[in-house]
Amino acid sequence: MKSVKNHFSLVIALLSILFSIQAFFIIDRSIEAYKTNLANIYSVIAVSKKPLANSDILSINKLIAGVQELSPDAVIEKFSSDMTSENRELLKNTLPKFYKLSLAYYPTPQEVKKLRSDLLNSSNITKVEDFSYAHDTTYKLLLLFKNVVALFAFVVFVVTVLLIMKELKIWQYKHNERMTIMGFFGAALWLRSAVLFRLAIVDALIASFLAFGMFIYLSSSPWLIDQFSNIGIKIVIFNPIDDFLFLLSIAISISILLAFLIVLGHKEEA
């Protein structure tokens, strides 16, 4: 019964690490997808004294992906209902040109500042509206959320690693007498510690396959898919090949490394 309990504790600890890692991946993918959506709706307005070719504006900064000239007709129509057509045309020709600039991706605040500077350095552009306050607030919120999740994953990782080391030490003490006797008869260190490494690898495999089943279920969960749809994003929650192989390698690497450290500690004590 104690053997099963030790196995269970080690598997749960490894599963916690794998869950926190995959949760971080999901959050990171969600943020990147959301930033892509924001890039599609976020734009910069540039005001020019005279008409500019799209190619001239695109060459100012590589962040600019598209240019659309904004027609002043709606504004003129609103404020000049009693004007003659000639006066309206004259007013239209004297107004500055407004350009809506779409961006290749959702930029950082520093990239927005550089874009603004590059645009204003152009001799023909007189004003730039980058909506920097709203942009900076949104970007900082996304960054804060990502950092909080990363911190949480790190704390879970540290705590569970300590728990795994404790469980492996328990197994070491259980087999200490057998390992010592084998040492007296000249058995190699790896042979004496075979049970510990076997435990570590088996539990890593169990935890990895449990994580696989759990995330396969979550990735097809209608409730979770609806939550992402509600914020307008669609992501890969769990890649059955790439994500699973990564989680499997993490679980096995952590288990073998910690088992190796336990064995080295036993050797030093001996």
Output the domain CATH number for residue 84: 3.30.70.3040
Task: Name which of 39-48, 152-161, 168-177 the model is least confident about.
Answer: 168-177
Chain centre distance of CA 57: 32
pLDDT of amino acid 215 = 94
- 75-125 pLDDT, tens digit each: 566 555 566 666 666 666 677 888 899 999 888 889 989 999 999 998 888
> How does the average pLDDT of the chain come out, rounded?
81
Q: Please state the φ and ψ torsions of residue 42, each to the nearest 5 degrees.
A: -85, 135
Predicted TM-score (pTM) of the model is 0.73
148 and 78 belong to one structural domain: no
Do 167 and 217 lie in a common domain?
Answer: yes
Residue after which a domain boundary falls, among 107, 130, 153: 130
- Counted domains in the chain: 2
Strands (E), the chain: 43-48, 64-70, 97-103, 125-129
**Mean pLDDT, residues 2-17:** 76
Q: Structural domain of residue 256, as residue ranges?
A: 2-37+137-269
Instruction: Give the DSSP letter of residue 66.
Output: E
Rounded CA separation 15/152 (Å): 15
Residues 170 and 199 in one domain: yes
